[in-house]
Structure 1
C-alpha cells in the first residue's frame, strides 16, 4: 500500500463528495495490443456505480467490449503548497484523488439508460434537468456502467 494511502486516506463520505462534484475523470482501458488507452470522461456516481455516456462507436467502447476491466482516476488539485524556504523539491500539492477499478459494460435496459442520462443532465446542466430526453437520443447514446471492484481515495493538505 502506498504511504499516502496509509497516512491520508479519504473517508467514504469524502470519496462520495469528490465523485459527486468532480467534472472529469480519466478512464483507462486496454488496446488490442495490451497498451493502455486513457481518455477523459464526464461521469456520474449513482447507485454505487460509475456511469458515463458517449457515441455508440469508438476506440474506448471497442476496448471495453474486448476487455471489460477498467480503471477510473478522479483528481482535484486545490493549490500548490510552496516551501517557506523556497526549495522547489519541497513544494507539495493540496489535492484529493480517487482511483476506481471495475468492470465496464454497456447498459442495454432503456429505462436504466434514461435514468442515467437524467443524472448526467442533473450534474452538468441542472438548469435543464426538467426537460425530457428524446427517445432517439436515449436510443442512440451509449451508456456504460462501471461496477466497482476496488475504490480508494487519498488527500494531502
Structure 2
C-alpha cells in the first residue's frame, strides 16, 4: 500500500472530522482567475458543507459567476498530527429564506458552542436579512491523517 492510501481517511472518518471542526478555508475564483481564499465558519446540511455570507461579499459575487469551490478543513500542529479534508465541488445557492435561516443557525452554533438557540436566533434573524446561503455539492474529496504513519 502506498503512503497516500495509508493516510487517506475513510468516509466515516471524513464525516466525523467535518462534524467536529468549526472553520474552513473557502476558495472561490476571482474574475481574473486568481483564487479568493477566506476563512469561514460553516455548518452541515445533510452532511454537506453549508455556509452563508452577505450578498455583496466578494465570494458571493465570484460564486454567481462561477460556482466552483475548494473547501479545506484541517487540524494539527506537528507533521505527525496533520489531518485534513479538501472538498472540491460546486456551491449551490440557497434562496429559500427558511433554509437560509436554518443554515445560519447551524453556522451560529459552530461559532458559539454551548450558546442556547433562543439567544442565537435573534442574531441570525437580524443578520440573515442581508445574507444568502450555499450548500457545497461535492465532486471530489481528498483526505489525510498523518497519525496513521506511526
Settle same-fold status: TM greater than 0.5: yes
Could you say which residue in structure 2 is the equivalent of 1:143? 133
> Is residue 36 of structure 2 the alignment partner of residue 46 of structure 1?
no
Distance 1:128 1:57 in 2: 29
Shift of the 4–112 alpha-carbon distance from structure 1 to 2, 3 Å rule, reads farther
1:129 aligns with 2:117: yes
Correspondence list, 1:104-115, <5 A: 104-115=91-102
Q: CA deviation at 1:65?
A: 0.7
Q: What TM-score, normalized to structure 1? A: 0.81
CA root-mean-square deviation? 1.8
Match of 2:63 in 1: 64
Is 1:120 paired with 2:107?
yes
The residue that corresponds to 2:88 in the other structure is 101
Distance of 2:14 and 2:129 partners within structure 1: 32
Length, aligned pairs only: 143
What residue ranges of structure 1 are gaps of 5+ in the alignment?
A: 81-91
TM-aligned CA deviation for residue 4 of structure 1: 4.2
- Structure 1 segments, 4+ long, off by >6 Å, are none
Q: CA deviation at 1:43?
A: 0.7
Q: Deviations over 1:38-84 (max 9, x none)?
A: 1111111221321112222121111111101111011101x42xxxx
When normalised by structure 2's length, the TM-score is: 0.84
8 Å Cα contact 2:53/2:60 also seen in 1: no
CA contact (8 A) 2:44 2:106 kept: no
> Is there any run of 5+ residues in structure 2 with no aligned partner, and where?
none
The reply on whether 1:154 has 2:144 as its aligned counterpart is yes
- Structure 2 distance, partners of 1:99, 1:154, is 9
